Chain A
């Protein structure tokens, strides 16, 4: 269906006058009336971003629960429990995860420029980094001196890191899927929608980890 010009009549409403005050990035997200139904890529990205918004609210509810409990309890750690330890191991894990954001973005850019081999190499690096983080978190969990039911510290720590780890796992699974898809000829359509969405998701997971790391490790009892 070709685009037709919109006939503007003498309606009492000045057409979309409020849009001119919006910043450009918001204008892209609030397309004006008409003609966007065919923009599948834009639609998909918009839908995924609002999905991430609702995801962040779940994380926020967990985080606020943690903060509220922590602020109202003077005896945060049960006797004999050290709590989450800010060790070198955790630091390396964090650095690996956060730097993977700066690997996946060039990968997605390379895919947009159709540099498939560069994309695959960087994408594989990202998968390796995510997997490293997951394994490292597992090792860290096994070495901690408290469990899920050890007071509030155990409950909050394992639920927060576990929920985040689940998202890292989801991200890695998505990345593996996209890597496999990049080897199937003709599977990658022009928009590279899956890779863009995976990249967005990965950035989201990293940003969440910044908050979790600050709240769980840097905020020492």
Chain B
């Protein structure tokens, strides 16, 4: 089956010709073209991003006042559960998969992914799984209410009835996991086997390294979550006793299995974002990436270290002290390869002439915000401090600095940076800059105010709180509403530019990298002729190699 699918047999009519490039219908069909699948991923996950953002707006509206007056408590529990689940499993991880789907074959000089049919199947598992997850809002008892961790025994305390929100949540997550594992197999095979002649490992762009490391984590760690969810499903529906403390089971085992995946999950989300920074910063600084080899190896290093840090989420779960100490040290070790990357980004733009277009703004903003999120991360890795702020808004602030201010910023940077390549048209720079400032400032307002809240002791996942916390909460909520409004210029810009924007050239940024040498958008087989790679990546500023092209749409 696999063998047959690696021959490009497209089930569509006239897909081989470039006339259908502008045919929007192909984005709604079962296509095996990695570029179509990539756009499908990105568009679908953006819809889920909007839904998750809407849930966040309701949560922030609830937290404007100390009383629970907007939604009742079970619905509030469902809101933050679904917000977390959607944003992690249906926005960031699949969006990165979609972006990688589009870019990795182009960057390594392949005609398609290794297994195109598997690729299409992996995508088409996601919409049913996502709709299944959303459908649990319509159940009489509502959605799952145990947070996105779904810890037993609290997740097993559901109202009676065979089909409940928790059941649907578990099934949906198992489906999403299967899709991710398919994607991981595909990406690893593609990167190992499909590179163009001369494209050695140390000539791959850092984005490809990031995808490789992230997908390695998917492959090794995600099955643990699948296993844990299967056991949880048995506990929930068939009456087994794995995680039931009242009947000999041990809920901490679930926590171990869960975090064995879900800690690396944040690196699965973050590593592609770091790869995006490594692509965008050199292009707009016109400088080679500083210490390319170290950055590439640091990417792999982050992935390897992150497998051994999962217990830092369980410092308060009756963890013995020797384990606390060990995992405190390993968690702090992650800062070393991450620091290598941060200094490399800084050194890349050091004393260079910056071209501050929208992607660069987002990349610099995201990288800056990552420093802040990383510092609070090192603070949280310290066990005593973590025991103090455990389950408070300090933790929420920390990971939102990483997942929104870093990763989502990087995603926006990627959207703007590769928009001309994907669509063949140019976005509007003014609207893009407006979107950046509307994102950057409110995001800082919102998520910074969560740190003092947490230090004062406001717990997460509560809908009513002590009146002393109201001041910071109002600030956070107002920032959040501004943040919600900031997606409007973005959507207007993207949709309008895609339809009516000026035509883009092949390489509007004068960037290096194989994806820029084909036409915009690329033809069905990506390249007229498979290029032979003769040079390292990021050789900006070398007149021997610079791509000479007349671009007239860089205003």
Tell me the A residues contacting B by CB distance below 8 Å: 1, 3-4, 6-9, 11-13, 15-16, 29-37, 39-44, 46-48, 50-51, 53-55, 57-62, 65, 68-69, 72-73, 148-149, 151-152, 154-156, 159, 163, 189, 191, 193-194, 197
B111 interface residue per 8 A CB criterion: yes
B110 interface residue per 8 A CB criterion: yes
Indicate whether A32 sits within 8 Å of B200 (C-beta atoms), given known contacts A13-B536, A37-B194. Answer: yes
A41 touches B220 (CB 8 A): no
> What's the minimum C-beta distance from A92 to chain B, rounded to whole angstroms?
29
Contacting B253 at CB < 8 Å: which of A6, A12, A69? A69
A33 touches B200 (CB 8 A): yes
Which residues does chain A contribute within 8 Å of B189, judged by CB atoms? 43, 46-47, 50
Which residues does chain A contribute within 8 Å of B198, judged by CB atoms? 6-8, 33-34
Which residues does chain A contribute within 8 Å of B201, judged by CB atoms? 16, 33
Report how many A-B pairs have Cβ atoms within 8 Å: 175
B196 touches A149 (CB 8 A): no
A155 touches B202 (CB 8 A): no
Contacting B193 at CB < 8 Å: which of A13, A42, A154? A42
Indicate whether A149 sits within 8 Å of B241 (C-beta atoms), given known contacts A36-B193, A37-B193, A47-B114. Answer: yes
> What's the minimum C-beta distance from A136 to chain B, rounded to whole angstroms?
24
Q: Which residue of chain B is the closest to A18 with respect to CB atoms?
A: B201
B185 interface residue per 8 A CB criterion: yes
B249 touches A69 (CB 8 A): yes
**Binary interface profile of B, 527-542, with partner A (CB < 8 Å = 1, else 0)?**
0001011111000000
Contacting A31 at CB < 8 Å: which of B111, B193, B223, B532? B193
Which residues does chain B contribute within 8 Å of A163, judged by CB atoms? 230
Contacting A68 at CB < 8 Å: which of B228, B234, B253? B253
Contacting B185 at CB < 8 Å: which of A6, A51, A62? A51
B381 interface residue per 8 A CB criterion: no
B200 touches A7 (CB 8 A): no
Which residues does chain B contribute within 8 Å of A54, judged by CB atoms? 181, 184-185, 219-220, 222-223
Indicate whether A69 sits within 8 Å of B227 (C-beta atoms), given known contacts A13-B536, A53-B219, A149-B241. Answer: no
> What's the minimum C-beta distance from B60 to chain A, rounded to whole angstroms?
37
Indicate whether A155 sits within 8 Å of B242 (C-beta atoms), given known contacts A31-B192, A34-B195. Answer: yes
> What's the minimum C-beta distance from B493 to chain A, rounded to whole angstroms?
37
B6 interface residue per 8 A CB criterion: yes
> What's the minimum C-beta distance from B153 to chain A, rounded to whole angstroms?
15
Mostly helix, strand, loop or mixed at chain A's interface? Answer: helix
Residue from B192, B247, B260 with most neighbouring chain A CB atoms (10 Å): B192
Known: A13-B203, A46-B192, A68-B250; 4 extra A-B contacts, CB below 8 A, are A33-B201, A37-B194, A50-B185, A193-B2
B246 interface residue per 8 A CB criterion: no
Contacting A155 at CB < 8 Å: which of B6, B221, B240, B530? B240
B2 touches A191 (CB 8 A): no
B430 interface residue per 8 A CB criterion: no
A37 touches B188 (CB 8 A): no
A53 touches B532 (CB 8 A): no
Contacting B192 at CB < 8 Å: which of A30, A35, A68? A30
Which residues does chain B contribute within 8 Å of A42, judged by CB atoms? 193
Which residues does chain A contribute within 8 Å of B181, judged by CB atoms? 51, 54
For the complex of A and B, the 3 pairs showing the least CB-CB separation, nearest first, are: A61-B227, A34-B197, A57-B223
CA distance A46 to B185 in the complex (A): 9
Which residues does chain A contribute within 8 Å of B195, judged by CB atoms? 33-34, 36-37
Q: Which residue of chain B is the closest to A37 with respect to CB atoms?
A: B194
A149 touches B192 (CB 8 A): no
B241 touches A152 (CB 8 A): yes
Contacting A61 at CB < 8 Å: which of B199, B228, B234? B228
